[in-house]
Amino acid sequence: MTLYIGREASKLWKRICSETTTEINLLLDNWKYLLAGLIFQYIHGLSARGVHYLHRPGPTLQDLGFYILPELGQDKGYISETVFTCVFLSFVLWTFHPFIFKSKKIYTVLVWCRVLSFLVASQALRIITFYSTQLPGPNYHCREGSKLARLPKPHSALEVLLINFPRGVIYGCGDLIFSSHMIFTLVFVLTYQKYGTRSSCIKYFAWLVAIVQSLLIVASRKHYTVDVVVAWYTVNLVVFFLDKKLPELPDRSSGNLPMLLPLSTKDKDGRTKEENHKLLNGNSVDPADWV
């Protein structure tokens, strides 16, 4: 038993080392895209902080979802945040599963490049919408009488740039007409729908969680129903069109992966010469020979 555990531990360690080397090479080629996506996450937070200064509380707008769904109350607002946290963490862990499990279909760096591109496009549209029209926030801390409904004028630019994370994000107001939580949730679910290797039951469950998350957001009065509806069709359209434009991710289960990985100029030149040599001799080019 001890020998078996030791052998499996050794295999796992070799797998982790091999995967780490591969991902580091991919990171060196794609770090600019990842950095740009992460920087835009800050820009998105900064924009949400900025629109809070423009927010003016007022009567809550008439909303069909508020009539249909029972109000959870201010003390139960944590429920939707808990569901979102579970979705976020489970997706992050899934993207790192190639380091542990044998059934590897994705490369962590490449899938995050794709995810960040979806997020950036959706968040850019979100920024445009909530700066175009400011609505009175339905959340409890955004209503008239709350000290957080209006932000006093900043004393310095640094006060705005720091965005008071995470309190400034949790207690933001004015960033409406598009639900930020639904952007993340739908991008994660759509990505897992395409690249997940587990049974369809888990994928159906992911969509069910996304629906529950939508209802909880409205029931918690964190967004109007239109914010959730807009997120549902806009994110799906963004992912659909971007997915057509972006190069397809290499499928690790196909067996012809090396030809899809980024190659250095030297490797490309060597490969081209070898291809020409084989073609001149009447031989076909086997992708396995490129390794």
Break the chain into its structural domains and give their ranges. 1-250
pLDDT score of 198 more than 80: no
Query: Are 48 and 175 contacting, i.e. CB atoms less than 8 angstroms apart?
Result: yes
Rounded to whole angstroms, the Cα distance separating 286 from 173 reads 58
pLDDT in tens, 80-96: 999 999 999 999 999 88
Mean pLDDT for 124-149 is: 91
- The catalytic position among 52, 155, 223, 289 is 223
Is 44 annotated as catalytic? Answer: no
pLDDT score of 28 more than 70: yes
- The catalytic position among 52, 55, 175, 227 is 227
Predicted local confidence at residue 254, as pLDDT: 53
pLDDT in tens, 155-197: 777 777 877 766 666 788 889 988 999 999 999 999 999 988 7
Is 277 annotated as catalytic? Answer: no
Is 227 annotated as catalytic? Answer: yes
Mean pLDDT for 147-159 is: 83
Predicted local confidence at residue 145, as pLDDT: 85
pLDDT score of 226 more than 70: yes
Q: Provide the whole-model pTM.
A: 0.82
Rounded to whole angstroms, the Cα distance separating 19 from 76 reads 42
